[in-house]
Amino acid sequence: MLALNAASSPTRFSPLPPRAQPVPVRRAVASPLDAVATPQTAKAGQVLFQEGDPAAALFEVTKGVVRLCRMMPDGRRSITGFAFPGAILGLPIGEVFAYTAEAITGCELRRATRSAVGRLLESNADFARRMLAVMSDELSAAQDQMLLLGRKHAAERLASFLLWVARKNGRASCEASQLDLPMSRTDVADYLGLTTETVSREMTKLRQAGVVTLPTPQRIKILQPELLQQIAEEGEATALHSSRVTTARWPS
Partner DNA sequence: CGGTCGGTTGAAACTGATCAACAAGGGTGG
Partner DNA sequence: CCACCCTTGTTGATCAGTTTCAACCGACCG
Contact residues toward its own copies (CB under 8 A) are 70, 72-74, 76-78, 80, 91-94, 98-99, 121-122, 125, 128-129, 131-133, 135-136, 138-140, 142-147, 149-152, 190, 192-193, 233-235
Binding residues for DNA, rule: CB under 7 A, are 11, 153-155, 184-186, 193-201, 203-204, 214, 217-218
In terms of CB distance, is 80 or 177 closer to its own copies? 80
In terms of CB distance, is 193 or 210 closer to its own copies? 193
198 contact, one of DNA, its own copies, none, CB 5-8 Å limit per kind? DNA
In terms of CB distance, is 1 or 93 closer to its own copies? 93
114 contact, one of DNA, its own copies, none, CB 5-8 Å limit per kind? none
Rounded Cα distance between 208 and 211, Å, is: 8
Shortest distance, position 193 Cβ to its own copies, whole Å: 3
In terms of CB distance, is 139 or 174 closer to its own copies? 139
